[in-house]
Structure 1
């Protein structure tokens, strides 16, 4: 941030807000060092920004305001977001697929990227409620057994509703690979689509192992409907953009956290 000793309060607060949004959270001691102001000054700035509703104070720092979203973008719009991170996550997740396994691939653009990585894998049985994921295997002439659940199509080309739910309830998966709209410590895994939330609940119940694929922008986001808690997740695969504090919290809560492109798996109790 450079030499900011003489910054006006408005300039300093704008820089703090930009840092919070860019990194997903900041600590008071980091801001005092970067801005070269007192601890009390930083805390007053955070109080002012919190009163404006643009950030939320937490113990020792601040995070972006979490808003419950009810709007769902279409597949192309989602695919344009963080494409590099999604490719890194997909490559890391592909290494978690057991040979000859029966796996479920839920909807979403990150799971779609994983499907592209799995073309040619031997002996797979794939159940999916994503039209896009099924098309990946069919277009490649892949020999994997691919089962498309059927159901009502969402804006993100995912099939949901009673037909999808009934198909999933009758099946059992070695591993579920699941994309999410949002991940948070309080709300767990969430989506803005109520029917998709119900379908995802059935996926989670039918899987012996749940692997969540979520780039760093999903942390702190809360959709309209939660469908699983962090306690239901066995592995979360994310990217190196995830803030250090979020990594520490997830590593503490989850059996395994994989940071794609940023190091090896972190397990519960690992010093991050």
Structure 2
């Protein structure tokens, strides 16, 4: 396939799904990793896509623009993994945990596969699938119903009604953005309503948000900063953001994305 045709195919996929991964393009288009990266560089130079770690996404998200799961999963992968690893330490065997939808909560879910006797409530198809694949007989997973969003969340009146009758020890909440004025936000109105119900059902609120979420504002507020018992972010968070969060939330935890590499034993 000629470079021009290949780049057009890549651009169409980005516009359709919100983002692409290099590995998927290598597999689907049958070319090398280097070729795909050159294609993405060419598209980015023309302002048609935004390059991110491991792939590319659409350009210029607004307060109501919601990237698909593939687009979001290509962003800040190291940060999300570090955040998930730290947050998993907060979950005790035998507890009930609600997980909202999102790529950070999906990453977090993989760290709970070995925690015994958990009861998990989620409105995320992707999160529920993680536990289904793990197949622990001592874990109970409840997937609420609802209308599916671009980020694979189930939202709306059906989800709200199901969550309203539940009480859980902890909610692990993924967010689109956070700021002092707007709090924790999402670009999806129905998802905000469903997430607010999850907040109300939980004894403790833990928010997972990498440093790029600071200053980003979605159209609808899920919760005020003061409602968070714990925010787990990463060391890329600016000093200003650290100060603001430390002032407003119960506890701020910063995960170091480079810790795994430094702690890894020499071969």
TM-score by length of 1: 0.71
Q: What is the alpha-carbon distance in structure 1 between the residues aligned to residue 106 and residue 136 of structure 2?
A: 15
Q: Quick check: 1:68–1:221 contact (8 Å CA) kept in 2?
A: no
2:95 to 101, 104, 107: 101
Aligned-residue offset at 1:262: 7.7
Whether the 8 Å contact between 2:82 and 2:257 is mirrored in structure 1 is no
Match of 2:116 among 112, 119, 122: 122
Task: State the TM-score, normalized to the length of structure 2.
Answer: 0.72
Which one of 62, 65, 70 corresponds to residue 64 of structure 2? 70
Q: Determine the structure 1 residue equivalent to 2:143.
A: 148
Runs of 4 or more consecutive aligned structure 1 residues displaced over 6 Å after TM superposition: none
Q: CA-to-partner distance for each residue in 1:25-55, whole Å, 9 max, x for gaps? A: xxxxxxxxxxxxxxxxxxxxxxxxxxxxxxx
Structure 1 residue runs without a partner (length 5+): 1-66, 264-272
Query: What residue is the counterpart of 2:220 in the other structure?
Result: 225
Structure-2 separation of matches of 1:250 and 1:68 = 23
Q: CA RMSD in A?
A: 1.4
* Deviations 1:83-104 (CA, angstroms, capped at 9, x unpaired): 0000000000000112210010
Alignment partner of 2:111: what SS? helix
Which residue number corresponds to residue 3 of structure 1? none
SS at match of 2:107: helix
Paired with 2:89 and 2:133, the residues of 1 have a C-alpha distance of 23
CA 1:214–1:222: 2 relative to 1, 3 Å: same
1:186-220 CA-partner distances (Å, limit 9, x unpaired): 00011010000000110011100000000000000
CA contact (8 A) 1:175 1:208 kept: yes
Residue 131 of structure 1: aligned partner: 125
TM-fit CA distance, 1:140: 1.7
CA shift digits 1:172-199 (9 cap, x unpaired)? 0100000000000000011010000000
> Residue 247 of structure 1 aligns with which residue?
242
Which entry has the higher C-alpha Rg, 1 or 2? Answer: 1
1:1-272 alignment runs, 5 A limit: 69-143=63-137, 144-261=139-256
Verify the 8 A CA contact 1:191 1:224 in the aligned structure 2: yes
Query: 1:90 & 1:228 partners in 2: Cα distance?
Result: 21
Shift of 1:142: 2.3
* Structure 2: gaps spanning 5 or more residues: 1-60, 259-267
